[in-house]
Amino acid sequence: CGKNMLFKKCGSNCRPTCADPDGSECSDEPCQEGCFCYSGMIYDGVGACIKPEQC
């Protein structure tokens, strides 16, 4: 996983990103396996999680 991320077997599909800070672009799957940002961080779209004000 990238910076400020952790691996989860079943994480939320409603992940906040710089492009979608509210995480409203969700898939129909109940959960997803993969790397997720730590609480309070959002995905920057290029492989790391950052503070929202850094977008």
pLDDT above 90 (res 51): yes
Task: Dihedral sign for Cα 41, 45, 48, 51, please.
Answer: negative
Q: Are 50 and 22 in contact (CB under 8 A)?
A: no
Q: State residue 31's pLDDT score.
A: 87
Q: State residue 40's pLDDT score.
A: 92
Measure the CA–CA gap between 33 and 31, rounded to whole angstroms: 7
Q: State residue 54's pLDDT score.
A: 95
* pTM exceeds 0.85, yes or no: no
Instruction: For residue 31, give the CATH number of its domain.
Output: 2.10.25.10
Residue range 8-48, pLDDT digits in tens:
999 988 889 999 888 887 776 788 899 999 999 999 988 89
| β-bridge mates for residue 49, sequence order | 43
For residue 33, count other CB atoms closer than 10 A to its CB: 11
Q: How many domains does the chain have?
A: 1
In sequence order, what are the residues at sequence separation of 6 or more whose Cβ sits closer than 8 angstroms to the Cβ of residue 24?
14
Q: State residue 8's pLDDT score.
A: 95
Residue 30 structural domain: 5-54
